[in-house]
């Protein structure tokens, strides 16, 4: 009888210890502490032109909202984006002509070298946006075929080396519109930013 009572009490103590001491471990595994996230500084460029050719309809508030939504979409990663500056960049007629003649949108490049540079324009032709990882720059059109934050999150994924996905619910879905990073993408991003 004494041994059965001892085993019963011992079992209850063991279960209690497991529940008490494993909970914080499990919690730490499920969530990232915002204080441990890698903060990526962003300079956002709102593109305007003297004649309205490239004028974005977005304003500073729109850009902040988009990045807040992106941070939510990327919540499972260890990355947080911080818009430290929003510039309104007005293109002159010679700059516009140079872009039209060369077909090179990079002519507007006014990057801050130590930051990720996002450019918001009215129209990018047939694409929602595009990224140029070696230059730390990305472009997003006003005329997207999906949710603006999803398109921005998608282009940010390219900056960090993520490739297209065939899964419609994922941020990296080829045609945008997804809202999730899969486990492999989160692991890739977390390894990428821990270097």
**Domain extents for the chain?**
1-31, 38-193
pLDDT at 27 over 80: no
pLDDT digits (tens, 9 = 90+) for 100-151: 565 566 656 666 667 899 989 888 778 888 898 888 889 898 988 778 999 9
Average pLDDT of the chain? 77
The residue ranking higher by pLDDT, 22 or 194, is 194
Q: Which residues of 20-46 are buried (b: 16+ CB within 10 A; e: fewer)?
A: eeeeeeeeeeeebeeeebeebebbbbb
Strands ordered across the beta sheet of 137-141: 79-91, 38-49, 116-121, 137-141, 129-132
pLDDT at 20 over 90: no
pLDDT at 8 over 70: no
User: pTM of the prediction?
Assistant: 0.75
Q: What is the pLDDT of residue 132?
A: 86
38-193 CATH choice from 3.40.390.10, 3.30.420.40, 3.30.70.330, 3.40.50.300: 3.40.390.10
Considering only CA atoms, which of 30, 64, 68 is closest in space to residue 46?
64
pLDDT at 19 over 50: no
pLDDT at 82 over 90: yes
pLDDT digits (tens, 9 = 90+) for 168-184: 999 999 887 889 999 99
Percent of the chain residues topping a pLDDT of 90 = 40
Look up tokens 């960090």; give the residue. 160
pLDDT-derived band at 53 (thresholds 50, 70, 90) equals: low
pLDDT at 28 over 50: no
Q: What is the pLDDT of residue 104?
A: 62
Q: What is the pLDDT of residue 2?
A: 47
């Amino acid at each position: 009888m004494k041994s059965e009572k001892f085993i019963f009490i011992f079992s209850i103590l063991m279960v209690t210890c497991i529940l008490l001491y494993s909970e914080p471990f499990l919690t730490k595994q499920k969530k990232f502490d915002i204080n441990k996230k890698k903060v990526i500084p962003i300079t956002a460029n709102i593109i305007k032109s003297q004649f309205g050719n490239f004028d974005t309809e977005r304003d500073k508030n729109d850009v902040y909202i988009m990045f807040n939504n992106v941070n939510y979409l990327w919540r499972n990663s260890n990355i947080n984006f911080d818009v430290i500056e929003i510039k309104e960049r007005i293109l002159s007629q010679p700059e516009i002509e140079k872009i039209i003649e060369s077909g090179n949108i990079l002519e507007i490049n006014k990057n801050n070298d130590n930051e990720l540079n996002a450019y918001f324009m009215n129209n990018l032709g047939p694409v929602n946006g595009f990224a140029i990882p070696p230059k730390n720059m990305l472009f997003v059109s006003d005329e997207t075929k999906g949710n603006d934050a999803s398109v921005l999150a998608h282009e940010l994924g390219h900056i960090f080396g993520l490739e297209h996905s065939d899964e419609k619910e994922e941020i990296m879905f080829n045609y945008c519109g997804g809202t999730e990073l899969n486990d492999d993408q989160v692991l890739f991003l977390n390894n990428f930013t821990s270097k």
